[in-house]
Amino acid sequence: MGLDDALIFTRVVECHSFTQAALGLGMQKSTVSRRIALLEERLGVRLLNRTTRKLRLTEVGQAYYERCRQIMLDFAEAEQAVMQLQQEPSGLLRITAPIEFGQLLLGRVLGAFMRQYPQITAEAEITSRHVDPVEEGVDIAILLGQPQDSTLIARKLFASSRRLCASPAYLAAHGVPVTAEQLATHRAILLPQDSPRYWPLLGESIPCQRVLSCNNITFAREAALAGAGIAGLPVMISEAMVQSGQLIELLPGARLPISELYAVYPSRRFQAMKVKAFLDFLMRSLPLEDGQLLEPTAARLLTLQL
């Protein structure tokens, strides 16, 4: 109410007329006159001396007008600043992402984005924990799996298939499983999304001998490389080791759950330009084929184009 009345008062003074101010504001002259009278009554002062031909500010009215005019200028500058933010990506961009995605891809993509838009600054947290973007004031949280909170917007980035891998040393000591059923006698390295009792095979219920559980896929890969057991690893972090012979892919026909990564953010309505621009840039930069993330060798070649 106060800000509206201040705007009406400022327009009346600048137009030197109730009639012209009413036309500019899209209001009735009688409404403008009544609002000024109510404003004076609320403040307990006379702001304008009126005659049939002229308006003149009182001393108090002059001081009030100068303050109101500055408020209106500040308000206009604030609106202009917001509109400029929507025209060119700028400001602080806060992102969280899983450790491996951050190390393999996000750092390079974010760096290229900031090179293209130098008005952007960024804070990135690379973490294994689940992040609530609303609770923590994060612009974009990149998460494994689609969030259950329906108030959040989730944009799928890519899917990454998994496969069973073990080191040559482990297989030399424990034998090579050639059927899914033979996995029951083998040592399992499991990730958080895996059942603690069964191998992560779709359509199968093969008991496992869990020897290690961990919340980090790179950690699981390194344990498998050292011969601790068999792990269901994403292709994106295991392909180079399979190609070099450090890991052996087992049961190529076995189906493991597909890992999906999502970019999660609070709202699509009035989305900040920095968020929209980065999401679009990220999608263009990811080395994808039919929604699947390409293996690291190809990924490195493609990301060189950034």
Mind listing the domains of the chain with CATH numbers?
2-86 (1.10.10.10), 91-156+265-303 (3.40.190.10), 162-250 (3.40.190.10)
- Looking only at the bridges linking them, the beta strands covering 120-126 and 55-57 are unpaired
Q: Which residue has the higher pLDDT, 179 or 149?
A: 179
Task: Give me the mean pLDDT over the 200-215 stretch.
Answer: 89
pLDDT of 51 over the 90 cut: no
> Taking a C-beta distance cutoff of 8 angstroms, is the pair 216, 128 a contact?
yes
150-172: buried (b, 16+ CB within 10 Å) or exposed (e) per residue?
A: eebbbeebbebebbbbbbeebbe
pLDDT of 303 over the 80 cut: no
**pLDDT class of 101 with cuts at 50, 70, 90:** confident
DSSP state of 291: T
pLDDT value at residue 170: 96
pLDDT of 176 over the 90 cut: yes
The share of the chain scoring above pLDDT 90, in percent, equals 29
Give the C-alpha separation, 135 to 115, whole Å.
29
Please report, as a single letter, which amino acid is at residue 204. E
> Taking a C-beta distance cutoff of 8 angstroms, is the pair 190, 196 a contact?
yes
Question: Which tokens sit at 121?
Answer: 């600054």
pLDDT of 269 over the 70 cut: no
> Taking a C-beta distance cutoff of 8 angstroms, is the pair 39, 12 a contact?
no
The share of the chain scoring above pLDDT 70, in percent, equals 88
pTM: 0.60
